[in-house]
Amino acid sequence: MNLEKVIFAFFIVLALTLNFGFFIGDIADPVHHNVYELFAAIVVSLIATILKFGDRTHIGAVLLATSLVADLQLIVAAIVWGIVEHVSQTGMTPHAMAAIVSLSGGAVLANVTSVILLVTETVMVRR
């Protein structure tokens, strides 16, 4: 058992699960989407990205790319949230909530890709 692999797989899968938890529910209903979950998803996703820095294998490079995509989507979602709450005077609207959740939905896809790559690599190694 390799501790590095455990930690990395933990963060990759955790990023997906947290993100999925935030994403699931009625897309325009703020009640279904918890801000703490989004925050946790961003932090975990950032850590997963940093863990992949400097991996010079091909699959490492693709994993870095997918987690960068997830970071980008989630951070944009957070920025949209911030703008809606504090910059525009409207407060949270169903329309804005839908935009935030769909951005996180994109991040879910990227996270799923990461997990698929991780599983593929594990199956290929079979050790």
Partner 1 sequence: MGNHNIVFVLLRRLHSPLIALVCVYAICILGFVLIPGVDDNGQPWHMDFFHAFYFVSFMGTTIGFGEIPYAFTGAQRMWATVSIYATVVVWLYGIGFLLTILQEPGFKQLLSQTSFRRSVKRIREPFYLICGYGDTGSKLVKALTESDITAIVIEIDAERVNTLELEDNRIFVPGLCADASIPDTLLMAGLKQRNCVGVVALTNDDAVNLRVAIASTLLNPGVRVIARAETRDAGDNIASFGTSQVINPFETFAGRLAMALHSPGTFLLHEWLTSVPHEKLTDPIFPPHGKWILCGYGRFGKAVYERMVAENLQVTIIEATPETTNAPDDVITGRGTEAITLQKAEIDKAVGIVAGTDDDANNLSILMTAGELNPDLFMVARQNSRSNDAIFAAADLDLIMRRGSIIAHKIFALMRTPLLAKFLDLAREQDEAWANLLISRIGGVIADNPPVTWEVSINIDDTPAIQNRLATGDDITINNIYQNPQNRELDLPCIPLLIRRRNTQFILLPDEHLLLEASDQILFCGRRKAQDMIKWLTNNPYVLNYIITGEEHPSGYLWRLFSRLNQKRIAKQEFK
Distances (CA, A) of 75 to 5, 40, 54: 26, 12, 22
Does 1 bind partner 1 (CB under 8 A)? Our answer is no
Does 39 bind partner 1 (CB under 8 A)? Our answer is yes
Does 47 bind partner 1 (CB under 8 A)? Our answer is yes
State the nearest-atom distance from the C-beta of 123 to partner 1, in Å.
26
State the nearest-atom distance from the C-beta of 125 to partner 1, in Å.
21
Query: Binding residue for partner 1 (CB under 8 A) from 82, 91, 93, 119?
Result: 82
Does 119 bind partner 1 (CB under 8 A)? Our answer is no
Query: Binding residue for partner 1 (CB under 8 A) from 51, 100, 107, 118?
Result: 51
Question: How is the chain classified by DSSP, letter by letter?
Answer: --HHHHHHHHHHHHHHHHHHHHH-S-TT-GGGS-HHHHHHHHHHHHHHHHHHTT--SHHHHHHHHHHHHHHHHHHHHHHHHHIIIIISTT---HHHHHHHHHHHHHHHHHHHHHHHHHHHHHHHH--
Query: Binding residue for partner 1 (CB under 8 A) from 56, 58, 126, 127?
Result: 56
Chain residues binding partner 1 by CB under 8 A are 35-36, 39, 43, 46-47, 50-51, 53-56, 78, 81-82, 85-86
